[in-house]
Amino acid sequence: MFAFSYPLGQIAEFRHKYGLDQFKNVWMGKDAEYFMPSFYICKDVPFIVLYDKNKKFVRTFDRGFKVSDIVAAVDEDSK
């Protein structure tokens, strides 16, 4: 899921421009009350929160992470 503070029209444009509307498992929405930054205590973007298939929190990623870090965390969680 992507969470934005932008207007819904801009979110829809982003989703379409980058082809994310082709994936039914990619969700996008507006964080109208700016809940996520304070809940996850994120200070930078991009900020990624990883949950497992049972919706259990795994970990967060911010500042200078690599895709390989995310892949490793997913691989580790699937064991």
Q: What is residue 77's predicted lDDT score, i.e. its pLDDT? A: 64
| The pair of three-digit structure tokens given for residue 69, joined into one six-digit string | 């870090």
Q: What is residue 5's predicted lDDT score, i.e. its pLDDT? A: 87
Contact 58, 72 (CB under 8 A): no
Domains of the chain: which residue ranges? 1-32, 43-79
Q: What is residue 14's predicted lDDT score, i.e. its pLDDT? A: 93
pLDDT mean over 42-46: 82
pLDDT mean over 21-42: 89
Does this model's pTM top 0.75? My answer is no
β 2-4/28-30 pair status: parallel
